[in-house]
Chains A and B, each alone.
Chain A
Amino acid sequence: MSDVGSTSTAGGPLLEVTDLVKHFPIKSGLLIDREVDQVRAVDGISFSVNKGETLGLVGESGSGKSTACRAVLQLLKPTSGSVKFEGQEIAGLSRRELRPLRREMQMIFQDPYASLNPRKRVGQIVGDQLKIQKVASGKALRTRVEELLERVGLSPEHYNRFPHEFSGGQRQRIGIARALALGPKLVFCDEPVSALDVSIQAQIVNLLDDLQDEMGLTYVFVAHDIGVVRHISDRIAVMNHGKIVETGEADQVCEHPRDAYTKKLLAAVPIPDPRESRARRERAGTTG
């Protein structure tokens, strides 16, 4: 639960999250809804992200990873806590005040089917932000969108197509192009590959990796599978039941996990080599 942002890279952290809480009320009652209980989806998490790094956020399904991303990005109003982006407090800002900040922080969604509006053309999906932020329009917008499509591995001819004409991997590329349209500083990748076939997963991860180098992006990379984030993360934060149970350098977390839950996650990672797999299981079994 400790803040570990102070270790790498000079300057203050790009993002600093302190005691972030998001509870969903469970309502019930006749006529008038009364709050009877809460889902503690995110229950007081603190972490920071430095410029240029990748923070892996790992935890099993339902541990609150997506909710955490949304609360940080102010897509959900946090119950309490502070979110500082480049030193500026953004929790509690109005939608209008947030609009310029939206250029800096973007999100890539988990479900490549639900995250693209089926009635919008690819060009519109990718280019809308340029319009919303009044950056470009008309011919300039089209040129920019076509460049983006090419950059994420699609073709400029896809501009006028609809999402249903694409495969899952291609759809996720569209989602990536949309997120990167205005060159954000920080990108939340919410399980960007877990809905995809394994062979496509590697391509998308590589694409994200290349784009990070090229555009100087900072990632918060969410996964339920610690194996996926291990190689691409500089640091890893492990989440369980709405709390961060362990943070640390990626290698350290994977090789010498301190928390029992982290060990459980590591034991669940499929390992091609049966000998190592057995050794892993034994390690997890003896200590956890």
Chain B
Amino acid sequence: MPPESEKQGTEAPIPTGTGALDAGLGIESDGARVVEAEAGDGRQAGGPWRIAGRRLRRNKVALFSLAIFFLIVICCLLAPVWANHVADTGPNTTHTLEKLHVNGEVREVVEPSGKAIGPQWFEAGGKFFLGADGHLGRDEMVRLLYGGRSSLFIGIVAALITTLLAVTLGLLSGYYGGLTDTFISRIMDVIWSFPVVLLGIALGIALAVGGLKLGPIHLKSSSLWIPTLIIGVVYTPYMARPLRGEILALREKEFIEAAVAQGASDRRIMFIELLPNLLSTIIVFFTLNIANNMLLEATLSYLGAGVQPPSSSWGTMISEGFDALYSQPILTIIPGTAILLTVLSVNVFGDGLRDALDPKSKVRFEARAGTAAEMDNPV
């Protein structure tokens, strides 16, 4: 029997130096199977990350969403440039009694009736680009950009906090099991059992009154870190649980046993064997988490339990604009659109990322394992 039978389907030659044991059996079958399994999807060459990258690059909608998101982030990062060089004002500066000279015309920033000036676009050289924000006469565009910084900061940093907590807790409880698992899981259950918004409001109001004093950490009640921490903690179980489940499944895999059989330490198993297998889930969760966080921030801020005035965030801006919903709906529509665009772009990109990173390889893996299981009992 030719020892090359395995070669047929694979690109790389295998120098099998072994004379095959004569079992009197046909040889074409595996050759055929290999051709099917490997030549069939020859594009699967390269590491898992490269395959995912290739899949993602083909998903134009996801890439477009990512571009939109980056554009929004860059605009918000450039807020001080707009404020200092175009609008000539700060996010919290009031212009109640000021007048604007546009094309020889004089316009009041806030009319005596309390109605604020509408969008001026570039007519006033970029001042009050989107108008003023109500009876205080603050520049809406400047507030929108600065508010976006707060909203994005909370969205991204809270997602980092959630990820850090969830990965740590998920690894500990999934890998060690037993009492550690029971302890962590019960704490998660407590957080989980509250509706997210309710818990956020409760924590938010409690901390907005007195600030947070935790050992050396001392946060003022107006600090952005307070809503960030609250949101980060509140969403932790939603990420820790699925991660724990995934670890429980991975822990039973033979490659973990192989690592133990080689004398690997717990730390090595967690970081070298488990974590790389969780990475795609973590990345997808992280991305989608940013969108959720921004929505929760808006909700909490709208309800007064998030970002505290006079700081602006898209949530507080909606809340403030709501007072003039009928006379000036644009003050609600502007921050609302900003949130919508950001959250939508993050979500669409996150879904694309999930499609690229995850399911296919898994399905394929399971399908092949199934074949192996069937062959457990030949004849």
**A residues within 8 Å of B by Cβ?**
61, 70, 73, 75, 95, 98-100, 102-103, 105-107, 109-121, 128-129, 132-133, 150, 153-155, 157-158, 162, 164-170, 175, 178, 194-203, 205-207, 209-210, 224-225, 231, 270, 272
Count: A-B pairs, CB below 8 Å: 178
CA separation between A129 and B272, bound complex, in Å? Answer: 13
Q: Can you report 16 residue pairs joining A to B where beta carbons are below 8 Å apart?
A: A61-B377, A98-B263, A107-B257, A132-B262, A162-B47, A162-B48, A167-B9, A195-B373, A198-B26, A198-B29, A198-B30, A198-B378, A201-B23, A203-B6, A210-B17, A224-B376
CA separation between A168 and B369, bound complex, in Å? Answer: 10
B93 at the interface (CB under 8 A from A): no
Q: Which residues of B contact A162 (CB under 8 A)?
A: 46-48
What are the 9 closest A-B residue pairs judged by CB atoms, nearest first? A197-B30, A119-B276, A115-B254, A102-B263, A99-B263, A206-B18, A195-B372, A202-B21, A199-B27
Closest A residue, CB atoms, query B4: A203
CB pair B254–A129 under 8 Å, yes or no, is no
B24 to chain A, nearest CB (A): 5
CB pair B48–A119 under 8 Å, yes or no, is yes
Chain B interface residue count, CB cutoff 8 Å, equals 65
Closest A residue, CB atoms, query B257: A75
Q: Which residues of B contact A105 (CB under 8 A)?
A: 261
A229 to chain B, nearest CB (A): 12
Closest B residue, CB atoms, query A98: B263
B257 to chain A, nearest CB (A): 5
B 10-51 binary contact with A (CB < 8 Å = 1; else 0): 101111111111111111111101100110000011111000
CA separation between A151 and B102, bound complex, in Å? Answer: 84
CA separation between A22 and B99, bound complex, in Å? Answer: 87
B187 at the interface (CB under 8 A from A): no
Q: Which residues of B contact A75 (CB under 8 A)?
A: 257, 260-261
CA separation between A132 and B261, bound complex, in Å? Answer: 11
CB pair B369–A113 under 8 Å, yes or no, is yes
CA separation between A209 and B27, bound complex, in Å? Answer: 20
B268 at the interface (CB under 8 A from A): yes
B182 to chain A, nearest CB (A): 10
CB pair B48–A154 under 8 Å, yes or no, is no
B198 at the interface (CB under 8 A from A): no
Besides A115-B257, A169-B6, A224-B377, 12 other CB < 8 A contacts? A75-B260, A114-B254, A117-B273, A128-B259, A129-B262, A132-B264, A132-B265, A164-B48, A167-B33, A199-B5, A203-B6, A225-B378
CB pair B18–A111 under 8 Å, yes or no, is no
CB pair B257–A170 under 8 Å, yes or no, is no
CB pair A155–B254 under 8 Å, yes or no, is no
Which residue of A102, A167, A224 is within 8 Å of B261 (Cβ)?
A102
Q: Which residues of B contact A164 (CB under 8 A)?
A: 44, 48, 361, 364-365
Q: Given that A99-B263, A129-B263, A168-B372 are known contacts, is A199 also in contact with B18, CB under 8 Å in the complex?
A: no
CB pair B29–A114 under 8 Å, yes or no, is no
Which residue of A166, A194, A199 is within 8 Å of B30 (Cβ)?
A199
CB pair A153–B254 under 8 Å, yes or no, is no
Closest B residue, CB atoms, query A105: B261
CA separation between A110 and B254, bound complex, in Å? Answer: 9
CA separation between A203 and B23, bound complex, in Å? Answer: 10
CB pair B268–A132 under 8 Å, yes or no, is yes
Q: Which residues of A contact B260 (CB under 8 A)?
A: 75, 95
